[in-house]
Chain A
Amino acid sequence: MSLLEINGLKLSIGAAEILHDVSLSVDAGQITAVIGESGSGKSMTAYCVNQLLPRGSVAEGQVQFNCQNMLALDEPSLCNIRGKDIGMVFQEPMTALNPVQTIGAQVAETVLIHGAASKPEALKIARDTLNRVGLPEAQFPLSRYPHELSGGQRQRVVIAMAIALRPKLLIADEPTTALDVTTQSQIMDLLKRLVQEDGMGLLLISHDLGVVADVADHIVIMRKGKVVEQGATQHIFKHMQHPYTKALFEASSHKPDRKAKPLDAPILEVKNLIRDYALPRKSLFGPAPKFRAVNDVSFCLKKGESLGLVGESGCGKSTLTRAILGLEAIQGGSISINGVEVKAGHTVPRTLRRNMQVVFQDPYGSFNPRHKVARLVSEPFHLLDDAPTGAARKAAISEALEAVGMQAADADKYIHEFSGGQRQRIAIARALIIKPELIILDEAVSALDVSIRAQILDLLAALSDKLGLSYLFISHDLSVVRAITDRVMVMKSGVIVEEGPTEAIFQTPQHEYTRALLAAAPSLEDLMQ
């Protein structure tokens, strides 16, 4: 019998049925990956295992862990199992650790709660576990606080907490979604190593096929609370049956059709751009120290071209965006839009700002929840001196909404009535309404499910063909950048380290950082062959 066996699991929260007849199993020393888009019930399946369900949930069926039915156990016995026999790793390492406790205390806590050791022994176990997850004593003493660590290091601490008591089963809920590509692959390697060393079972929850494909022994594909297909990873990749699985694979490596050829005239030219931030003063007198977020960056974006900007978090790509948009003052260099140059120390005039709009990453945070769609979409009209009013304004709003595949009637709704993908369409409509020539897409598809992402990429490609738009496409996701850009720039620590035509960069990267990025990025194509 397997370590964990879920049979005919049904779950309802209030009146809503979340899971229908879910069955899967995890063997000791094996990795089972559950894959699905948002709302597929993959996380709820995991929470059913250790019974951390929201109030008002009713679970039926069988969850057999270690020959015990978890659904029948009372709270004290569950507490005994959680943390000791079943460890859990969460998505967001920034919030999964207590900011006022040292990492040593937090890892030792799991050991102490289960009475497995005395305090000095627990601290020793914590030390050993942190060593195992790749946080050696020399750099990472137990007395470190979470804020002193990077995202990847914090996730290692969270993993250490989960495995301190050598559990039989580890549940990892999107453990690498919040991390950069290079960190992501390191964490996946770590999880794989721990599974082999300890012979524990790993239930890995993810939305990203590429991430889990390398490591998983078993793959379970879920959709709308049902398991649509499952089997050994190799088998699934070679003989996928269900149309949804096929669609998911296709969407993951989707490449939109782009016809338009870029013109020679540049729309945006950035020369030797420098952006400094003032750091907190160290002494009362003397200038505040500075941090150079963007250092001597130059590039040119042609009309109708789609230029990618790739880099990991903190490399300065968002700062660069804000500088181009004229939201923050620059300390050196110049920005030319349509041939009009704006030097450091000057603000970007309204007449130039009209040519640029932006789409942000988070479809939930980029709209004021108290305004209707019509008002949200028409906000950029503020940049025009002769903004249309009355019927003309209404017509413009309808036109913009219809251009992105929404309906004119949606203008009277509030933003909370729309899904993430629809919101991102509305965000694009807002960017389109004053007919700019350049749209900056700041991680615009990163928060979307793969199938929605594919649709949005198609929409962007179609719009650029139709309206001759130029895109500056900022992303940490290499596969997306590869699909939609003509040229790509790689940025690291405020400097552009490599630039060139997209295919050339992806096939023969020159800079070692680009190579590291490409090596770390999960790729489905290699596995499909």
Chain B
Amino acid sequence: MKRAFKMPGFSIGFIMAFTFTAAALVSFFWTPFGTDGVDIVNKLHTPDGTNWFGTDHLGRDIFSMIMVGARTSIAVAVVAVGIGVLLGVPLGLAAAARKGSLLDEFIMRGNDLVFAFPALLIAILITAVFGPSAINAIIAIGIFNIPVFARLTRAGALSLWTRDFVLAARVSGKSRVRISFEHILPNITNLLIVQGTIQFSLGILAEAALSYIGLGAQPPIPSWGRMLADSQTMVSFAPHLALFPGLAIVLTVLGLNLMGDALRDLFDPKLRRDRQ
């Protein structure tokens, strides 16, 4: 971890991502203003001392809404990555443990099937059938994380299955399931952490996109994507409405990607040698 913070990319990315996570946590206890009250008198204020980021067309404080919106974005991304890891990793381990078997074929062809559909299209389908909500957005994004993690896990695990220490464990009579969790999984966590940070940022983007077209979190829960959508018609005379949620999305995603890149460099000995 110390080595990670010595890399400028990781530190900058960490500060960006940490700021938004902290904002989301603080918003549970305190925001400068409430986000569900309508205050028409103070609508469309430009940023000043009281409303740091200005107010929207209903007079809500944009700074407060960004804080609460971070909550939605992060929650959706965390749960979606969680679904991907919890289902994808065991599937990938199983496919690798039984390489070439019917089970392997079944899992990997299933992955291909999910990959074949554009992720957002299926998300739209799910929300169209079950109704728009944050939960359905999570499920839709989560499903598309499964094959990403399953493939990565399988690829990493396959190269480990040929190693002598795995053979030694088999000589000791350990089952394939046990070897997968005891010997394979700990040796591919690096890969998974890196992919996790990248999927996390993609999840935030996907949530923003779904909210933008009205299929994510529903009003009055603030969401960055919907704030952008609401600001669309007013962008000519109140550009700050679009600027701040847009910046929030860009900075969070950029921060997470920087972290992911730095971690990959750190874990990959080949890249590490080149950098020195």
Contacts and interface: CB of A to CB of B under 8 A. Distances in A.
Interface of A: 55, 325, 327, 350, 353, 356-358, 360-362, 365-370, 379-383, 427, 430
B79 to A, nearest CB: 28
Given A368-B187, A369-B187, A379 B164 contact: no
Contacts of A358: 167-168, 171
Contacts of A427: 168
Interface in B220-276: 276
A366 B165 contact: yes
A356 B173 CA distance: 11
A301 to B, nearest CB: 17
B126 interface: no
Contacts of A369: 187
A360 B170 contact: no
Contacts of A55: 276
Nearest to B178: A382
Interface of B: 163-165, 167-174, 183, 186-187, 276
A365 B173 contact: no
Contacts of A382: 172-174
B267 to A, nearest CB: 13
A55 B164 CA distance: 32
A430 B183 CA distance: 16
Contact of A379 (B163, B169, B276): B169
Contact of A370 (B164, B174, B186): B186
Contacts of A325: 171
A205 B164 CA distance: 29
Task: Give the 8 A-B residue pairs with the shortest CB-CB distance, closest first.
Answer: A366-B164, A360-B164, A380-B172, A383-B173, A365-B164, A379-B172, A370-B186, A368-B165
A362 B276 CA distance: 28
Contacts of A360: 164, 167-168
Given A357-B171, A382-B172, A362 B164 contact: yes
B187 A370 contact: yes
23 contacts: A55-B276, A327-B167, A353-B171, A353-B173, A357-B171, A360-B164, A360-B167, A361-B164, A365-B163, A366-B164, A366-B168, A367-B165, A367-B168, A368-B183, A368-B186, A368-B187, A370-B186, A379-B168, A381-B172, A382-B172, A382-B173, A382-B174, A430-B168
A305 B169 CA distance: 26
B165 A365 contact: yes
Nearest to B186: A370
Contacts of B164: 360-362, 365-366
B270 to A, nearest CB: 13
A383 B175 CA distance: 11
B157 to A, nearest CB: 13
A82 B122 CA distance: 58
A327 B187 contact: no
Contacts of A327: 167, 170-171
Contacts of B174: 379, 382
A53 to B, nearest CB: 14
A379 B182 CA distance: 11
A350 B167 contact: no
Contacts of B187: 368-370
Contacts of A366: 163-165, 167-168
Contacts of B169: 368, 379
A437 to B, nearest CB: 15
A269 B176 CA distance: 28
Contacts of B165: 365-368
* Residue from B167, B170, B173 having most chain A Cβ neighbours under 10 A: B173
A369 B190 CA distance: 13
Nearest to A367: B165
Nearest to B166: A368
